[in-house]
């Protein structure tokens, strides 16, 4: 038995879509409810997440899994009200209708609801969550994540590949092919992950077929909803080989808040030099993720001779270069550090040390920058200089207690790491005094490389941010 519903997915009169709710959705709802019935509960009936593994965190969700459970619980960081959850369910209904066709279940279906949960160190509370099947595709031996690496988050990349970025943007976002041709082999310089996928498409005809299906369904979904699917989150869009060695794909939690309409409005405002708060999470994802999301699907479509998936978003390349420079100072330092440009890291740090601090926006970046000093084999004194300065930066704690703890712990971790580094420098100096110079130089060079690599594990857990 099938049920048909109509709803407005875009908030406009012409966005009315009719969707068929099939038996699969009803059966899945029943199955997911049975899973919840078997989940560990407190005496009051709250789902006891203190007994689950917290194995991943993104910008919008925290993921939990009970031992050997056939499902994952995705806890929303924001707590949408029932009406907002209902609207989200409707959007996913369109997604399922567009992708799950011809007796193929391409979507990992999830059900959103509000439940009582118990989190470590807290009282039971209401929280919005979804129940997601833990499918065997995640354990496939041959798989790849259709995941973007936004160039706009890397000012070093944008500066050193300005001409290529301009050509790519004109071809893939502005749909201007007159003077904007580029070599597909160069795309990896803009987005390494998607560049690798283009190479796979060149050498694997079966993968091309399945990619064409994905892109055609995506185009249909976008035309009905104006929603840009989230290819930033880990394995939100997964391509894999099944037990028959055939390529398949699965779509997970790809609906966030990003739309083509809002992306156009935001970049039009930026282009007109209007004030735009890029610290707002919604504005941030539209500015820094949407362009890369659009380029990713459109470049694959172009490589396969298809029409663009998203063709109604127009962004001037100059505005993309502008937002790359509008990243916070720690984020810009991290970009240069990842490319090994520690001279520029030092310049930014020295010129802005009176402005820098540990706050909710950037606290996570400082530890990652320190990691890059190690990864690039920088001299111990260079790392010490960085840690000396950063460990003295002030802390600005947010009102939320959990967020405040994360910021505070990040600063504590940097101080601990500085103290460890100071001890290693002192040990080096002491050994240099007592060992023959030739022996101490050889021994300490080897010892330092080992100790520096160990410094991350000796310090408190690394802080990082990702988006899912």
Six-digit token pair at 78?
């924001």
pLDDT of amino acid 71? 87
* C-alpha to C-alpha distance for 462 and 368, rounded to whole angstroms: 8
pLDDT digits (tens, 9 = 90+) for 123-150: 999 999 988 888 889 889 999 999 999 9
pLDDT band at 461 (very low <50, low <70, confident <90, very high): very low
Residue 71's DSSP bridge partners are: 133
Q: Which of 127-136, 210-219, 383-392 has the lowest mean pLDDT?
A: 127-136
Residue 57's DSSP bridge partners are: 62
pLDDT of amino acid 443? 52
* C-alpha to C-alpha distance for 440 and 27, rounded to whole angstroms: 70
Contact 170, 176 (CB under 8 A): yes
Q: Comparing C-alpha atoms, which of 117, 36, 114, 115 is closest to residue 82?
A: 114
| Architecture of the domain made up of 22-134 | 2-Layer Sandwich (3.30)
Q: Comparing C-alpha atoms, which of 104, 65, 129, 142 is closest to residue 251?
A: 104
pLDDT digits (tens, 9 = 90+) for 276-295: 999 999 999 999 999 999 99
| H or E element, residue 247 | strand 247-251
Mean pLDDT of the region 14-37: 59
Of residues 407 and 16, more confidently modeled: 407
75 Cβ neighbours under 8 A, 6+ residues apart:
49, 61, 62, 63, 64, 117, 127, 128, 129
- Whether the predicted model's global pTM rises above the 0.95 cut: no
The yes-or-no verdict on residue 32 having pLDDT over 80 is no
pLDDT band at 168 (very low <50, low <70, confident <90, very high): very high
Q: Which of 21-25, 70-74, 114-118 has the lowest mean pLDDT?
A: 21-25
pLDDT band at 450 (very low <50, low <70, confident <90, very high): low
Mean pLDDT of the region 247-274: 96
- Half-sphere exposure in the Cβ direction for 216 (13 Å, CA): 11
């Amino acid at each position: 038995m099938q049920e048909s519903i109509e709803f407005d997915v875009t908030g406009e009169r012409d966005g009315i879509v009719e969707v068929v709710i099939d038996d699969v959705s009803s059966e899945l709802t029943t199955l997911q409810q049975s899973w919840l019935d078997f989940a560990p509960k407190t005496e009051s009936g709250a789902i006891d997440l203190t007994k689950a593994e917290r194995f991943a965190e993104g910008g919008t969700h925290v993921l939990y899994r009970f031992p050997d459970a056939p499902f994952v619980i995705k806890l929303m960081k924001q707590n949408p009200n029932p009406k907002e959850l209902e609207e989200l369910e409707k959007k996913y209904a369109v997604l399922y209708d567009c992708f799950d066709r011809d007796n193929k279940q391409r979507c990992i279906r999830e059900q959103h609801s509000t439940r009582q949960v118990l989190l470590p160190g807290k009282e039971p509370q209401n929280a919005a969550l979804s129940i997601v099947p833990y499918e065997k595709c995640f354990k496939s031996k041959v798989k790849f994540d259709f995941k973007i690496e936004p160039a706009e988050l890397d000012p070093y990349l944008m500066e050193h590949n300005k001409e290529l970025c301009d050509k790519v943007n004109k071809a893939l976002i502005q749909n201007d092919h007159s003077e904007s041709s580029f070599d597909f082999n160069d795309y990896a310089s803009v987005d390494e992950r998607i560049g690798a996928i283009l190479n796979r498409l060149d050498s694997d005809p079966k993968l091309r077929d399945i990619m064409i299906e994905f892109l055609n369904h995506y185009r249909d979904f976008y035309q009905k909803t104006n929603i840009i699917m989230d290819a930033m989150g880990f394995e939100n869009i997964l391509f894999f080989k099944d037990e028959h060695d055939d390529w398949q794909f699965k779509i997970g939690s790809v609906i966030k808040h990003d739309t083509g309409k809002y992306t156009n409005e935001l970049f039009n405002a930026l282009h007109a030099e209007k004030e735009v708060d890029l610290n707002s999470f919604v504005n941030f994802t539209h500015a820094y993720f949407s362009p890369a999301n659009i380029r990713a699907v459109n470049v694959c479509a172009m490589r396969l001779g298809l029409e663009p998936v998203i063709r109604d978003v127009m962004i001037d390349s100059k505005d993309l270069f502008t937002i790359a420079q509008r990243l916070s100072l720690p984020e810009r330092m991290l970009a240069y550090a990842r490319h090994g440009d520690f001279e520029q890291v030092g310049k930014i740090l020295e010129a802005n040390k009176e402005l820098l601090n540990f706050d909710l926006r950037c606290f996570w970046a400082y530890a990652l920058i320190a990691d890059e000093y190690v990864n690039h084999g920088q001299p111990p004194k260079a790392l010490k200089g960085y840690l000396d300065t950063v460990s003295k930066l002030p802390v600005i704690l947010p009102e939320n207690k959990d967020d405040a703890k994360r910021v505070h712990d990040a600063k504590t971790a940097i101080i601990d790491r500085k103290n460890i580094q100071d001890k290693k420098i002192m040990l080096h100096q002491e050994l240099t005094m007592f060992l023959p110079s030739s022996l101490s130089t050889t021994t300490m060079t080897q010892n330092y490389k080992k100790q520096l690599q160990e410094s991350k594990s000796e310090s408190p857990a690394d802080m990082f941010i990702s988006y899912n």
